[in-house]
Structure 1
Amino acid sequence: MSSTPLQSQQITFTRFIAAITIVFFHFGGDLEYINNPIFLPIKQYGNLGVSYFFLISGVIMSLVYSNKVKLSKAFFRDFYIIRLSRVYPIYLFSLIVVIFFTKYFWRSQLDLSEILFSVFLIQSWVPGKELTLNFPGWSLSVEIFFYLFFPFLILFFRKIGNRKTYMVSFIIWFITQGVFICYFTEGSHLLYNPIMHSGTFIIGAAFGIFLKSNADRLTFIPPNIWAVLLIISTLSFVAIIYNAPAWLALSHNGLLSPLFLIITMSLCLDRKSIGRAFKIPLAVFLGNISYGIYIYQYPVKIFTSYINDKFGLRNWNAYHFYYFLVMLLIVASLSFIVLESPIRDRVKKLINYT
């Protein structure tokens, strides 16, 4: 294993881009210009940001934990506590907000089973319950599934060696894509099933091991090469979504992972130009609040819609959308500063984690 540091911090800002794209995908459909050919891909394929999240989660977790995983109760305890402390508190808070509005402002009946599925983050595991209550939470349910098997995955990879790791992870990804493509139907549970997304996460984890193992050799390549590769791969992605080939409709569960991995590697290794720009404090901060942007999008939309209704502003036009977007950024920023960072630091201190 190489000790050469990879600039994984440069990936952080891409999470912000993905989160904002998903928000436009969910709630920007009524904007007048969204049907313009320039913006239409956001409306149609903004959900690709979720599969990107899963891929990046695998890459980052592998970079951080691949040398730390141990077959011990202490490690497993600390790992699960750390991971849950990062995502669960504000997820639960956002869920409570949605339940409150559903019960006391919409006067709608609540299904106890849906509440329990959501509280225990298993809604994506149950067909027909994936999008209950705070519907973006389905992806957190998938992420929890990844957390459960990640330490075992790394131990398995360590046992079989790097070359077999790359081969096995590609085969798993290929199989999950094949099953999804063969059996996909509109609204199918396969869109949200954790197993169908596991190939994306696993190939990301294997790629993290590849980056870490080959950091010395990769960082020896001139940075400008990585900048050029980043531009080419990004333009390739843009060309794909604007040309919208028929198979792109089947890309929700990670079909574009190889291209995303090239973009990720280029960003990690581009120590100048674009990579440097992605490391500025503002870009890193926006990346850090991306989880809040994602998980609070529906509660904030509910709240701003309620305010609009209260004052008779019922049309969800561009003005209201951007008001909602600004409010979402403020809430996500405050959440990161007041809740996420303090909770994370406190938990690490309590379990003496380094």
Structure 2
Amino acid sequence: MKIPQITFTRFIAAMAIVISHFNKDMFLYNIDYISNVFLKANVGVSYFFILSGFIMVVAYHKKERIDCFDYYKNRFARIYPLYVLGLLLYLVTRYSNFSFYKIFLYLFGLQSWIPGKAMILNFPGWSISVEFLFYLIFPILYNYFYAKGNKSIWLITGMIWIITQFFSGLYAESSYYEGPHTESHELLYYFPLMHINEFLAGNLAGIFFVKNHQKTNYDIPLVLIFILIILSLIFIPLFYHNGLMAVLFIPFIVLISKNNGVITRLFSMKPLEYLGEASYAVYITHIPVLYILREVIQWSGYSIKIDQVFGIYIIVLICTSVLFYQCIEKPLRDYLKKLPIK
């Protein structure tokens, strides 16, 4: 079941994260309220985790059982080539950070499991480390819960979500009174088990959708939910990075998937859908591309204002991401999927 309108939302989330990682001297951070949105825009990673769970169920819901080996091979083919490319691009300008231990953790997706190591090398890769866990457990979840209609997974997901929010709330409170603690920060932001509730919630949203996928016009509810997301980031100082935003992200994902209004027609336009397809390249290479661009600008000797750098950066990032998607991600994905490995 293809849902083209949801693909472009991945690009929007990726660009929000890109802006949140850019220099805070940029003009967007000098605008009241708008600055609050972009300071918290890395919550887009939470959107990716939930959407990943949703898409997994939608993609496989007609299967009686998932073959684990084929599934792992397809996921590896989809995610790993650009994951490695991001590392190689990073080392172009940060080769002094090279160590075999860091390379080992990064290549095996273990960095988010080790306290203090989540942000090593190409640091957006921490979320791919989390995704590896999702991919590992999904065939088990599907074969023993989803395919069999086992309702206990709903209770389990609810309990995991509540426990996660409880510990996140404790961290937020202790940080407010005592300042942030590195170990607890690493645990709650990056540790894979703290994000599993998001993937499970996305799975359940996918189950609901495939059973209730009749199309109708949800343009107005979608706009209202989007406004609520923005207002929440501006005015409500909560810890949003471990699934709390699922209460808004899930209705948004489900409704846009069921929508047949103007928003769907707009987001389903081929150029926008294509940008969504290239969004993984945007996300996983945006830091090394920024570092390389800074080196090039410094080498050129030109004095360029930060806002001008941002404009150049966005253009370069989109162009390189499209190139990486078209020339590396797609051909290697197709090649690896066809390998007769068993």
Q: Tell me the alpha carbon deviations over residues 124-169 of structure 1, each in whole angstroms, 9 at most, x when there is no partner.
A: 1111000011011101111111111111111232376364333332
- Alignment partner of 2:120: what SS? coil
- Alignment partner of 2:221: what SS? helix
Q: Distance in 2 between matches of 1:241 and 1:109?
A: 34
The one-letter code of the counterpart of 2:167 is V
Q: Which moved more, 1:203-212 or 1:35-44?
A: 35-44
TM-score (norm 2): 0.91
Distance 1:177 1:69, change over 3 A: farther
Q: Determine the structure 2 residue equivalent to 1:263.
A: 252
Q: Distance in 2 between matches of 1:9 and 1:351?
A: 30
Residue 238 of structure 1 deviates from its aligned partner by 2.0
Distance 1:309 1:228, change over 3 A: same
Q: Distance in 2 between matches of 1:102 and 1:268?
A: 41
The one-letter code of the counterpart of 2:196 is S
Unaligned stretches of 5+ in structure 2? none
* Alignment pair present for 1:333 and 2:322: yes
CA contact (8 A) 1:8 1:60 kept: no
In the TM superposition, what are the counterparts of 1:153-168 in structure 2 within 5 Å? 153-158=141-146, 161=149, 163-168=151-156
Of 14, 20, 25, which residue of structure 2 is paired with 1:25?
20
Q: Distance in 1 between matches of 2:164 and 2:308?
A: 41
The one-letter code of the counterpart of 1:150 is F
* Alignment pair present for 1:52 and 2:43: no
Q: Determine the structure 1 residue equivalent to 2:237.
A: 246
Deviating 4+ runs (over 6 angstroms)? none
Q: Alignment length, in residue pairs?
A: 331
Q: Tell me the alpha carbon deviations over residues 303-333 of structure 1, each in whole angstroms, 9 at most, x when there is no partner.
A: 1011111122466611112111111111100
Q: Distance in 2 between matches of 1:286 and 1:192?
A: 27
- Alignment partner of 1:201: what SS? helix
The one-letter code of the counterpart of 1:47 is N
- Alignment partner of 1:27: what SS? coil
Q: Distance in 2 between matches of 1:59 and 1:158?
A: 12
Of 190, 193, 196, which residue of structure 2 is paired with 1:195?
193
Q: Distance in 2 between matches of 1:344 and 1:351?
A: 14
Q: Distance in 1 between matches of 2:190 and 2:121?
A: 15
Distance 1:162 1:125, change over 3 A: same
Q: Distance in 1 between matches of 2:304 and 2:106?
A: 30
Q: Which moved more, 1:82-91 or 1:310-319?
A: 310-319
Q: Distance in 2 between matches of 1:98 and 1:121?
A: 16
The one-letter code of the counterpart of 1:341 is K
Q: Distance in 1 between matches of 2:79 and 2:20?
A: 22
Q: Distance in 1 between matches of 2:47 and 2:61?
A: 20
Of 265, 283, 298, which residue of structure 2 is paired with 1:309?
298
* Alignment pair present for 1:121 and 2:117: no
- Alignment partner of 2:276: what SS? helix
Distance 1:148 1:130, change over 3 A: same
CA contact (8 A) 1:292 1:336 kept: yes
In the TM superposition, what are the counterparts of 1:6-45 in structure 2 within 5 Å? 8-45=3-40
CA contact (8 A) 2:5 2:256 kept: yes
Q: Tell me the alpha carbon deviations over residues 258-315 of structure 1, each in whole angstroms, 9 at most, x when there is no partner.
A: 2111111110111121112111101100111110000111110111011111122466
Unaligned stretches of 5+ in structure 1? none
Residue 350 of structure 1 deviates from its aligned partner by 3.6
Of 101, 123, 140, which residue of structure 1 is paired with 2:128?
140
Q: Distance in 2 between matches of 1:124 and 1:295?
A: 15
**Aligned-pair identity (%):** 34
The one-letter code of the counterpart of 1:166 is W
Distance 1:300 1:69, change over 3 A: farther
Q: Distance in 2 between matches of 1:276 and 1:321?
A: 30
Distance 1:15 1:234, change over 3 A: same
RMSD: 2.0
Q: Determine the structure 1 residue equivalent to 2:71.
A: 79
Q: Distance in 1 between matches of 2:198 and 2:47?
A: 9
Of 210, 213, 216, which residue of structure 1 is paired with 2:208?
210
CA contact (8 A) 1:52 1:260 kept: yes
Residue 230 of structure 1 deviates from its aligned partner by 1.1
Q: Distance in 1 between matches of 2:108 and 2:93?
A: 20
Q: Which moved more, 1:177-186 or 1:48-57?
A: 177-186
CA contact (8 A) 2:34 2:234 kept: no
CA contact (8 A) 1:32 1:318 kept: yes
- Alignment partner of 1:47: what SS? helix
